[in-house]
Structure 1
């Protein structure tokens, strides 16, 4: 058992080193300009260690961002109090600002956006009552809201967060309510 624990720890350490190395390289290079060889060299691990943990460089970024974004949506889905949600979101977005700007600059924003979209679609599937909507309405409304919510957060983060978090939250809630109401009116 001890050997298995040790092996797992070595694998986890390799993952951590690879994540750290790629994030460091992204400070000065675009994702498309970074190679696996550069990452393993910077991480101080073998190529084999890379392929034991990941298939692509994108997988490293997914391993880094997915737990962070997933945990924020868990707070929201678990219906924490509005104050807890706003505090958690405020901290998350404050922390995400530099990362988001770098993701845009270094061409890996699509990874963050895909994780965000998966989470927001799960969010709407979890909290919404879809009884009065068709499968087509559900599918496209959810995709529409996901893209819109992401665009609003992205713009807010990249433009210096001039509006309050509460204002942004209210704006998104207004869009959500009005588009749902329009959809509901369409089915009546």
Structure 2
């Protein structure tokens, strides 16, 4: 198995164990030893990869978003609406973990992960994105991450009534883009 696959599996196992523990304990009562035992990873692995439980969450969210986008049909760039549709599908697919993170107040970690993933995709040239100066781009990215994650939280709490396609279209419309960002 390639090293990146092993790395990703360990990250996923650590995240899954953290979510399971967060369902039964307050996060401040979870020990690193307990997390590592539940995840089946070593403490040295944990300390090499993470500084906090928030890092576990952020890295797993980024892995999920980037991995999901990589599975899309091979095309030069994807539209903003398509990106948002796939983001909402990912949220739906991981609703249980997302709701657990929201219940323990980790919304800012979700926002950070979305923001980091979006910046990565923009740098890779995978998105239709307008050119902004660096200050404007920073504020735009902050705004977008907060808005999208807050919409996903409302959608999750509302029972996922609308489809991911509908949610992607709504975000695109709210941002003033009918098809491309």
* Normalised-by-shorter TM-score class: 0.5 to 0.7
Larger deviation, residues 112-121 vs 48-57: 48-57
**Alpha-carbon offset, residue 173 of structure 1:** 1.3
Aligned match of 2:106: 108
| 1:66-108: CA deviation from partner (whole Å, max 9, x where unpaired) | 2112223454995458998687456423212111111111233
**Alpha-carbon offset, residue 120 of structure 1:** 3.0
Aligned match of 1:129: 130
Aligned match of 2:17: 21
TM-score where L is the length of structure 1: 0.66
Larger deviation, residues 164-173 vs 116-125: 116-125
Kept after mapping to 1: 8 A contact 2:92/2:160: no
Aligned match of 2:32: 36
Kept after mapping to 1: 8 A contact 2:115/2:141: no
Higher relative contact order (Cα pairs below 8 Å, separated by 6+ residues): 2
Check 1:174–1:123 CA distance in 2 against 1; reply closer, same or farther (3 A cut).
Answer: farther
Which among 65, 78, 88 is matched to residue 69 of structure 1? 65
Q: How many residues align?
A: 169
RMSD over aligned Cα atoms? 3.8
Check 1:170–1:62 CA distance in 2 against 1; reply closer, same or farther (3 A cut).
Answer: closer
Unmatched runs of 5 consecutive residues or more in structure 1:
179-188
Unmatched runs of 5 consecutive residues or more in structure 2:
none
Check 1:150–1:14 CA distance in 2 against 1; reply closer, same or farther (3 A cut).
Answer: closer
